[in-house]
Amino acid sequence: MAHRVDEIDKRILYYLALDARNTATSDIAEEMEVTPATIRNRIKQLEEQGILRGYLADIDYKSVEGFVTYQFRCTASIPDRARLAQSALEISGVVTVRELMSGSANLEITVVGADTDDINQIAGELSDLDLEIEEESVVEGTYHTPYNPFGPEKVPKGPSLTDFMSLAGDAEVVEFTVSEGAEIAGLTIEQAVDRDLLADEMLVVGIERDGDVLTPKGETVIQTGDVVSLFSKAPLAKNSLEVFGTQ
C-alpha cells in the first residue's frame, strides 16, 4: 500500500529540500504544532518508503581549482535505458544521471573533470557503453528551490487540518493536531463521548504522539500536540472539530 503523504510530511519535504543541513526538527514541529519526536518519526518513515531518498551536497566544482562541469544528453535504447543509466554512474567523473521519458536524448548525464582531457575521457567511456551523445554543454550554474506547494502559505497561528480523505458513501477520515487549550485536551475518549464532544458517528482510529503511534482505547487520554486520525460515518459538519482546536 502506497504511503499517504499528509501536510506534516509535505512540510518536512519542503524544508529539507530548502536546506537539509540547517533544518531542525524542532522548527518544523513548532510550525506544525507537534513534537520534534513526531517529526523525526515521520522523516524515518519517509526514508523507509523511499520518498526521501537522500541528502545531497550542492557543490560548486568551478570554485575547486577550476574544475569544469559538463552536461551530456545521450540516447539509450529504451529497454536498456535504466541499465545504462546505472552503468554510466560507475564511470569516474559522472555525478548525476537522469532518465527522461523520450525516445531520443533520454539520458541527461552530468560530469565533472579537472580539464577538457578529463571530459573527453568521460565522453569516450560513455560512447563505449553504446550511448549516443546528442548534445554537450558546459554547466555554468545550477539553482535549486523546494516544491512550493508543499510549503506554508503562512505560518499558522493554531493547529490545522493536516489530511482529509473521502471514503465510499459519505464516510470521511481526517487528521489534525490537537491545539493547546482545546476543549477535549486532557480527557479520555470515553469522557469525550460522555460529554457529547465526540458525536456517535465519530471514531478515533489513531493517535500519533511523540513519534509513537498509539491504538486508541476508551481510557486513552487525548493530549495537546497529538496528531489524531478521526473516522466519521457521515460528512463532518464545519464546526465539528472545534473541540480539538482545529481551524
pLDDT band at 106 (very low <50, low <70, confident <90, very high): very high
pLDDT at 172: 83
pLDDT at 159: 44
Looking at domain 161-244, what is its CATH homologous superfamily? Regulator of K+ conductance, C-terminal domain (3.30.70.1450)
Q: Matching CATH topology for 61-138 and 161-244?
A: yes
Q: Give, for 149, the enclosing helix (H) or strand (E).
A: none
Mean pLDDT score across all residues of the chain: 87
pLDDT band at 157 (very low <50, low <70, confident <90, very high): very low
Residue 17 backbone zone (phi > 0: left; psi -120 to 50: alpha; other: beta): alpha
Helical H segments across the chain, by residue range? 7-19, 25-32, 36-48, 81-89, 116-128, 189-194
Q: Averaging pLDDT over each range in 55-69, 120-134, 147-161, which range is the top one? A: 120-134
Q: pLDDT: is 216 or 237 the higher one? A: 216
Residue 122 has pLDDT above 90, yes or no: yes
> Do the strands 132-138 and 172-177 form a parallel or antiparallel pair, or are they unpaired?
unpaired
Residue 187 has pLDDT above 80, yes or no: yes
* Residue extents of the structural domains in the chain: 61-138, 161-244
- What percent of the chain clears pLDDT 70, i.e. is strictly above it? 91
How much is the pTM?
Answer: 0.71
Rounded distance between C-alpha atoms, residue 133 and residue 113, angstroms: 17
Return the minimum-mean-pLDDT range out of 109-113, 149-153, 191-195, 240-244: 240-244
pLDDT at 73: 97
C-alpha cell at 185: 485536551
Residue 90 has pLDDT above 90, yes or no: yes
Residue 11 · residue 17 · CB < 8 Å: no
Question: Which CATH number among 3.30.43.10, 3.40.50.300, 3.30.70.920, 3.90.1150.10 corresponds to the domain 61-138?
Answer: 3.30.70.920
Residues 192-206: tens digit of each pLDDT: 888 888 887 788 888
Residues 21-72: tens digit of each pLDDT: 999 999 999 988 889 999 999 999 999 999 999 998 889 998 888 899 999 9
Residue 1 has pLDDT above 60, yes or no: no
